[in-house]
Amino acid sequence: MKITRLHVFQLQGVMEFPGAFWEERLVRPIDVYPEHKAEGPSNTPEVGDGKYLIESSCVEVETDEGVTGLGGPITADQAQVIARQFSPIAVGEDPRATERIWDKIYRSQVHGRGGVVMMALSALDCALWDLKGKWAGAPVYRLLGGPTRPEVPAYASALGFSLEPDLVRERARMIVSQGFKATKWFFRHGHLDGREGIRKNLELARTLREAVGDDVDIMLDAWMSWSVPYAISMAKQLAEYNPRWLEEPMMADKEREGCALIRQQSPVAIATGEHQYTRWGLKGLMDSRSADILQPDIYWAGGISEVVKICNIASTYDLPVVPHGHSVPATAHLILSQPANTCPILEYLIKWNEIHQFFWKEPVKPVNGVVRLTEKPGIGVEIDEAKIVKRRELN
């Protein structure tokens, strides 16, 4: 079997959602500049009352035997990297030789060890695993050595939800009523926002704990926007509310040293690694003892092939891996191939999954707070043609 084409294309559709889709945003590193601090949440384009334009790019690996593999959603610039830079290397290769293809592309991209290029390689790798599963007639978790269990618990990430206390209380209780035993929320304030910012951050944690009670985990995400002294101070104050972890307090280039210093004094576990790439980036966090929980994203850090390696290395440090949740379908397969102590839980971004899985015929969603095994071959995603308003070829 040989690859004949890396086919990239963009889909457009219209999602119906009552009211404002994005109600609030998270704190960002660029918010140190007042003009950016004042910006509201990013908007998914609204094309009518309660209707939003959804655009998703995908890659499909085509072969001379008719077996295909699907990867996505990705951005249009990632799609162009696949079409222009990866195609000359991948076309003619055996698509089942995922290690060979990954290594050849990685070695060809000496300035692409992160960012758009690595994200593009991650998507292609996932598409190749989807193809390999379809060729074998088996779900990807079986090809990876699983399943290790019939289901995995999910935690609900509330990115984009309002941070008004009454609404936080209402939505947190709604999440618990849906069967989730853990929920993550995102701070809006950083180290330059003074006492009022500290008060509002603590108010969020207090409101969540009061809403969900003592038997549900809460996680709190600073999205790379704090300083070391501020994170240490906040962690000590947040400890009263018993969060499961404090996430990504430092920018990625500073987190080895910064998170290591924070961990030395924090009574709260530190989770990070979402914006690191490849086994080398994540191993750096392990060696510097910068994290209690590692969070590589399968669609960013190098694909299924690479995150399996990250899990193997992490197991030697006795560190859990909780992948960031860009792609629930791909992540579920990887997690279900790993022991529960290595990959204990799956992230489900509530609003993002309405967008990221919009075009899938059968989106992978938690039921009663858990994601269960599927016997579908490959990763198990298929495009719902009925949702496509416009399709544009990108190569």
User: Per residue in 98-131, pLDDT tens?
Assistant: 999 999 999 999 999 999 999 999 999 999 999 9
Dist. CA 199–CA 194, nearest whole Å? 9
Has residue 43 got a pLDDT over 90? no
pTM attached to this predicted model: 0.97
Tens digits of residue pLDDT in 280-317? 999 999 999 999 999 999 999 999 999 999 999 999 99
| Contact in structure between 229 and 220 (CB atoms under 8 Å) | no
Q: Does residue 128 sit in helix, strand or coil? A: helix
pLDDT of residue 288: 98
170-202 residue pLDDT tens:
999 999 999 999 999 999 999 999 999 999 999
CA 51, distance to chain mean position in Å, is 25
- Rg of the chain over CA atoms, in angstroms? 21
Amino acid, single-letter form, for residue 384: D
For CATH 3.20.20.120, the residue range(s) in the chain are 142-384
Q: Which amino acid is at 336?
A: L
Q: How far apart are CA 250 and CA 224, in angstroms?
A: 4
Which residue intervals of the chain bear CATH 3.30.390.10?
3-137
Q: Is the pLDDT of residue 48 over 90?
A: no
User: With 90 as the cut, is the pLDDT of residue 42 above it?
Assistant: no
How far, in Å, CA of 67 to CA of 291, rounded? 41
Which pLDDT tens digit goes with each residue over 208-250? Answer: 999 999 999 999 999 999 999 999 999 999 999 999 999 999 9
Calculate the dihedral angle through the C-alpha atoms of 200, 203, 208, 214, rounding to the nearest 10 degrees: 140
- Residues classed as catalytic: 324
Grade residue 270 by pLDDT with cuts at 50, 70 and 90.
very high
Q: What CATH number matches the domain at 142-384, 1.20.1250.20, 3.20.20.120, 3.40.50.12160, 3.40.50.10490?
A: 3.20.20.120
Look over the chain and give the mean of its residue pLDDT values, rounded to a whole number: 97
* pLDDT at residue 32 tops 90: yes
The pLDDT confidence band at residue 51, using thresholds 50, 70 and 90, is: very high
Comparing C-alpha atoms, which of 175, 251, 163, 249 is closest to residue 202?
Answer: 163
CATH of domain 3-137: 3.30.390.10
